[in-house]
Every structure is written in structure tokens, then in C-alpha cells.
């Protein structure tokens, strides 16, 4: 296999101030690539410039055309990471995500320099809204028409579907620019930026809950996802494929246990009352319950189709949680000294 990327190539990372994008940009810079990032908030730029020396920055917005032509100028590899997050403060999540694809791809697919696109999607676009299904691969799609489907899952599904529609249409993609998507599971691990909302909110939620959910799934460290992004971009065999990023099989009870037991001395306390799966049995006709009930029983699994594309050792669950908790506590995003 010949690597697609060469040292000095220019890569664009959208949403450069975000949790995952900063790790991708750092790894690209460390590996000798040139990096340009798009941003919305001017206030965060001094921190980003110090964090990522040598990065180019262009202001661009998912909701319009402004900035994208400049951002994509001479870019060879596009890492499209920017997307509305799974937090309650996001409004018009689906509309913003789809508009972002339309606005960016309009310029990207008309580019003379672009060689490949990588879209950060999610396991949320693969494995939900389908009752009675327990094994998933990248050939599966979340049922975005399912009544009661979580808005984030619907958003990620429609966003990725729209991207593939544009990529596979010869009218919108006359140069046949390839794309690959990465579909991470539950992403954990430390943030390089002190304003990462998603991690803090997730930790707050399960610490504030007196219960421990035995829900079984997969977690993956953000640092592993960043390395996998670059590996997929660099591999021509990954062109036009979807790729689950599944780090380690775990339960949410395990995640909470590490957070509480490893950080008692820093003021982290929470009850861990186990919740048995049978409690949800009477409500299983609800889409959300139908999705999570078999996960509470440990019946859902994933079989990635292309494990050979990214062969490296994943960070283990306890290390990921400990590193993330230390970062969140040091940045005062959780705990007794939280701002």
C-alpha cells in the first residue's frame, strides 16, 4: 500500500477549537503535515495558537458560505470534524449539520487540489432505531424515521447520509473525490482545550445520577480516534468506506466506578446503586428503551468490517477515564472547585 499523504501536505481540520479536532491537528503537525483550521470564536484563538504552533486559521461557519473558499484553498486533505454536539444547548442540530455538509462540500468538491475527505460521523448513525437487532457492522444505518429517536442520533445519521449522497453523485462530485467516514463509539479521554463541553456534561450526568447502569457498549479514547482518522485518510483502501471506532468493551457502571473510586481524594462522590435490566421491560415498545434494553443485558455487539485499516493498541478504559478526570478537575469543569 502506498501512503496517500506526504509530509508537508496541507490538511484542513474543521471546528479546530473542539475536543477531537485539536487532537487531530496536533497529531498532524507532530507528523510533519501543514494544518489549517476553521473556527467561529475569536476569543479562543490565542489559546489555539499557543497549543498548535504553526497552524493556519480561517474563520468559517457551518451555516453559510463565508470562509469556506479561503479555508479550502490549496488543501489536499479535508478532515470534516465540526458538527453540533450531543448536548442540550445545541439548537437546530439536524439543520445545522446538514447545512454544514452542503456548504462545505459545495466548495470542497469543486476544488482542484483536494484529494480526499474524511467525515467524523458516529456509531449513532449505525446502530439505533431498530428493535430486535443485536449485531451491527458498518453496513447498517440507524433508522432515522423511528418514532422517538434521539435527536442527536437522527442528526448524525442524516448528516452522514447527505455526505454520501453528494460524494456518490457525479454531478456534485465530477472529480470522484473519495471520502471515508469514521464512526466512533462513546468517546472519552482528556481534552487539550479547557472548554470541552461534551466530556464535562457526560461526567456530570453520570455522577449526579444515584444509579449505576450496567449498559454494555464500547468506549474509545479521543487520542486513539485522532490517530485512526489519520490512518484512514492515509490509506487508499479505506476510500469510500465507513469505519467503526471501537476501543474497548465496557459498561457504563465501569466508567462510573473508575471516576468515583479513583478520585475520591479529589472530592468526587456518587452513589452506585445497580439498576437491573428487567426494570425497563414494560417500556420496551418505546424507541429509546428498545435501543438500550438489549444493551443493558449485554446483548448488542459490533463487528467492524475493516480492522486492518488501523492496527494499534487502544488505550484501556481506566487510563482513559483517569486522564479525562484529571483534565476535567484541573480545568475546574467538574468537582468541588468547578467554576
**Domain range annotation of the chain:** 10-266+284-330
Q: What Cα–Cα distance (Å) separates residue 288 from each residue in 94, 161, 209, 285?
A: 18, 21, 18, 9
Within 10 A of 323 (CB to CB), how many other CB atoms are there? 18
pLDDT at 189: 95
pTM here? 0.93
- For 316, phi and psi rounded to 5 degrees? -80, 160
Spatial CB neighbours of 14, under 8 Å, sequence gap ≥ 6: 21, 37, 38, 60, 71, 78, 79, 80, 81, 82, 104
pLDDT at 199: 67
pLDDT at 95: 81
C-alpha dihedral sign at 82, 86, 89, 94: positive
Lookup: cell for 307: 480492522
pLDDT at 319: 96
Low-confidence ranges of the chain (pLDDT < 50): 86-89
pLDDT at 88: 47
pLDDT at 205: 84
pLDDT at 231: 96
pLDDT at 86: 46
pLDDT at 263: 95
Domain 10-266+284-330 annotated CATH 3.40.50.720: yes
Amino acid at each position: 500500500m502506498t501512503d496517500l499523504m506526504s509530509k508537508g501536505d496541507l490538511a484542513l481540520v474543521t471546528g479546530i477549537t473542539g475536543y477531537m479536532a485539536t487532537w487531530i491537528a496536533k497529531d498532524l503537525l507532530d507528523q510533519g503535515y501543514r494544518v489549517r483550521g476553521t473556527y467561529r470564536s475569536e476569543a479562543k484563538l490565542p489559546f489555539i495558537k499557543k497549543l498548535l504552533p504553526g497552524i493556519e486559521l480561517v474563520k468559517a461557519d457551518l451555516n453559510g458560505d463565508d470562509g469556506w473558499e479561503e479555508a479550502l484553498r490549496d488543501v489536499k486533505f479535508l478532515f470534516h470534524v465540526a458538527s453540533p454536539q450531543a448536548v442540550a444547548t445545541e439548537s437546530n442540530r439536524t439543520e445545522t449539520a446538514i447545512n454544514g455538509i452542503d456548504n462545505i462540500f459545495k466548495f470542497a468538491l469543486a476544488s482542484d487540489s483536494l484529494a480526499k475527505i474524511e467525515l467524523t460521523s458516529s456509531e449513532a448513525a449505525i446502530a439505533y432505531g431498530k428493535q430486535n437487532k443485536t449485531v451491527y457492522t458498518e453496513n447498517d444505518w440507524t433508522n432515522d424515521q423511528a418514532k422517538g429517536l434521539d435527536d442527536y442520533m437522527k442528526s448524525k445519521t442524516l448528516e452522514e447520509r447527505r455526505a454520501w449522497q453528494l460524494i456518490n453523485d457525479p454531478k456534485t462530485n465530477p472529480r470522484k473525490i473519495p471520502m471515508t467516514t469514521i464512526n466512533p463509539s462513546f468517546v472519552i479521554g482528556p481534552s487539550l482545550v479547557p472548554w470541552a463541553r461534551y466530556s464535562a456534561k457526560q461526567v456530570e450526568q453520570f455522577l449526579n445520577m444515584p444509579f449505576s447502569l450496567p449498559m454494555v457498549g464500547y468506549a474509545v479514547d479521543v487520542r486513539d480516534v485522532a490517530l485512526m482518522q489519520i490512518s484512514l485518510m492515509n490509506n487508499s483502501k479505506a476510500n469510500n468506506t465507513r469505519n467503526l471506532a471501537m476501543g474497548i468493551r465496557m459498561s457504563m457502571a465501569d466508567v462510573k466506578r473508575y471516576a468515583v473510586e479513583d478520585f475520591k481524594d479529589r472530592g468526587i462522590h456518587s452513589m452506585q446503586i445497580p439498576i437491573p435490566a428487567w426494570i425497563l421491560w414494560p417500556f420496551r415498545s418505546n424507541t429509546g428503551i428498545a435501543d438500550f434494553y438489549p444493551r443493558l443485558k449485554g446483548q448488542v455487539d459490533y463487528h467492524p468490517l475493516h480492522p486492518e485499516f488501523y492496527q494499534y493498541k487502544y488505550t484501556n478504559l481506566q487510563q482513559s477515564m483517569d486522564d479525562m478526570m484529571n483534565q476535567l478537575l484541573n480545568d475546574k469543569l467538574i468537582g468541588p472547585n468547578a467554576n
